[in-house]
Amino acid sequence: MTQSAILPAKGPADRLTALFWRHPRVLLALLLTPPLLWLGVVYLGSLAALLLQSFYSIDEFSGVVRQEFTLKTYGELLRPSNFDILVRTVSMAAAVTLACAVLAFPIAYYAARYARGHWKAAFYLGVMLPLWSSYLVKVYAWKLILAKEGILGWAAAQTHTSWIIDGLLSIPGLEGSSLSTSPLGTFMVFVYIWLPYMILPMQAALERVPNSMLEASADLGATRAQTFRTVILPLALPGVIAGSIFTFSLTLGDYIIPQIIGNSANFIGMAVYQLQGTAGNIPLAAAFAVVPILIMLVYLGLARRMGAFDAL
Amino acid sequence: MRSDRSPLSLRAAAIGGLLFLHLPILLIFLYAFTTEERSFQFPPPGLTTRWFATAWFDRPDIWPPLYLSLKVAAISTSIALVLGTLVAAAMTRTAFFGRDQISLLILLPIALPGVITGMALRSAFGIMDIPFSTWTIVLGHATFCIVIVFNNAVARMRRLSGGIMEASADLGANGFQTLRYILLPNLGSALLAGGMLAFALSFDEVIVTTFTAGQQSTLPIWMLNELVRPRQRPVTNVVAIVVFAATFFPILAAYYLTRGGSETAGMGK
């Protein structure tokens, strides 16, 4: 006499499990629908709204948004005063990215190749904490540092080096009564705030450079400098580019830092903020906001070609 | 021959860089105790603790923004936890058409500058005539918090061996029992870490918020106003310390929760 296996009673949960097992796509669809609805409707929907608004224009007399397709608003971006804003923002982003790459390299290199055990953890936390800690608090800290009567001015006076700061502040284009009202101050704060975003991908790329390659390079008679130039740098480049995506993009869009520190020259983010707020010119604000998207799309395309996404 | 000891100049530059990243924040603490309230004079002419009392008792304008920030961060984190975990589960299970596009879509809200997310939401509210409320702030925050939860959950799921899920099924558990007894306990600390990071990010966010808040004031917006039009500067420092602590401790806790990975079951092989 054969006896069938003793199986527990089947409930609806078991039937659903069987359905998911036979048709994995059903489960996949169930898992993906809520998040994709959110991101699709809220985020992509908003981006579409942004694009739509940028093709509207504002009636110069009544100040009412005219909801008809026009390229007039984009044309306004080319006005000298607006075009200056674009050029200023892009050059600042490029300068900040370069400075971050230079400053980040020793930290990333040391953390990747020499730091071990506790030091490794300390370096990791040492970069993560400033990256995550409050953005506004960090900007505020620099306001304290760069103010005329602040710690930097005090240190310069104590060491009789105030002439360096005064000299820098008298360079045309960098003028200001103190570093906190000079474009140089804006630049320094940008570099400080975005530096951790450069260190992390750079360190990840450097950690993947095999030691054996450095040994081979040394065996073949390369000096440290040659090894650095011909082995380490090309292999670390994807990491540098990955980091530069962050520093470049974040600088392009920021409007808090130039508002608090610097000579209140306009940047893209500030223009967007002012136009949508007090000026009420949403179409032009939207057109301004589309510019960083276009720049970043080109930038991401180039970065992808250079293999930067493998380093993220 | 390559020595394993680092050159002194490199070590100095590396440690100098780390100090550069940390020392400015200490100044915030120092200036919370200064007796000078109109300028950022260094060194402070005198030290006092009265600003903490002032912030607590005499500045009722601090409390509503604090409540709003806590409320927004709590709601956004909850939404992000659900949505982020769902995407992470879908992305680790199978390869499917459009997978790369979806990971790009999740990443986009933090890869593009915040001003774009903010302006995009602002345009959408404008077109659809949606009035500003707590929920308009939450819409923005939850969107960029999803990726934080997603990153933490996906990293843990990749480390989780598929074997324990199969073992659970072999032992007769249905999908929901596996979720309850196997998957969630293993994901727990990663989700906690992701949730805390998302909370910290939302609590501190200012760029997107200025576009989605209208006349409302979250704590970072309150701080921004104080930076532009200062009144009792040391009180701003006291609030800055609170904001700093609200982001600092979650990060530290998240680091210890997700460190290593040896605690994850199914790592034996």
Contact assessment for residue A140 and residue B223, using Cβ atoms and an 8 Å cutoff:
yes
A282 touches chain B (CB under 8 A): yes
CB nearest to B127's CB, from A53, A133, A268: A53
Angle A160-A164-A168 from CA coordinates, rounded to 5°: 155
Every domain of chain A and the residues it spans = 72-133+194-311
Q: How far is CA A186 from CA A92, A189, B185, in A?
A: 9, 5, 47
A242 touches chain B (CB under 8 A): no
Which residues does chain A have within 8 Å of residue B121's beta carbon, measured at their own beta carbons? 42, 46
CB nearest to B105's CB, from A39, A114, A215: A39
**Mutation choice for B interface testing from A10, A43, A200 by most B CBs within 10 A:** A43
Higher pLDDT, A232 or B267: A232
Top-level class of domain A72-133+194-311: mainly alpha
What span, in angstroms and rounded, lies between the C-alpha atoms of A266 and A279? 14
Q: What is the dihedral of CA A81, A87, A91, A93, to 10 degrees?
A: 90
Every domain of chain B and the residues it spans = 8-48, 61-258
Mean pLDDT value across residues A257-270: 87
Q: What beta strand segments (E) does chain A contain?
A: 57-58, 65-66
What pLDDT, in 10s, does the model give residues B181-211? 888 888 888 899 899 989 988 998 998 998 8
pLDDT reported for residue A6: 67
Higher pLDDT, B224 or B268: B224
* Greatest C-alpha distance within chain B: 73
Average pLDDT, chain A: 85
CB nearest to A215's CB, from B2, B20, B90: B2
Top-level class of domain B61-258: mainly alpha
Give CB contacts under 8 A, 24+ apart, made by A211-214.
Answer: A214/B2
Structure confidence at residue B266 as a pLDDT band (50, 70, 90): very low
Look up the ipTM and state it: 0.82
What pLDDT, in 10s, does the model give residues A293-308? 899 888 888 887 876 6
CB nearest to B11's CB, from A110, A129, A132: A110
Q: Which residues pair with A57 in a beta bridge?
A: A66
What pLDDT, in 10s, does the model give residues B136-164? 999 999 998 998 999 888 888 888 877 88
Mean pLDDT value across residues A26-37: 87
Which residue from A218, A191, A158 is spatially nearest to A92, judged by alpha carbons? A191
pLDDT at A94 over 90: yes
pLDDT reported for residue B267: 36
What pLDDT, in 10s, does the model give residues A95-146? 999 999 999 999 998 888 888 878 888 888 888 888 888 888 889 889 888 8
What pLDDT, in 10s, does the model give residues A176-216? 778 888 889 999 999 999 999 999 889 888 888 888 888 89
B245 touches chain A (CB under 8 A): no
- State which residue of chain B sits closest to A155, comparing Cα positions: B42
The verdict on a CB contact (< 8 Å) between A50 and B43 is no
A307 touches chain B (CB under 8 A): no
A49 touches chain B (CB under 8 A): yes
Q: State which of A21-35, A91-105, A250-264 shows the largest mean pLDDT.
A: A91-105
Which of residues 56 through 85 in chain B touch A, CB cutoff 8 A?
A: 79, 82-84
Q: Give every CB contact of residue A293 below 8 A, 6+ residues apart in sequence.
A: B112, B116
**Helix-helix angle B8-31:B233-258, to 10 degrees:** 130
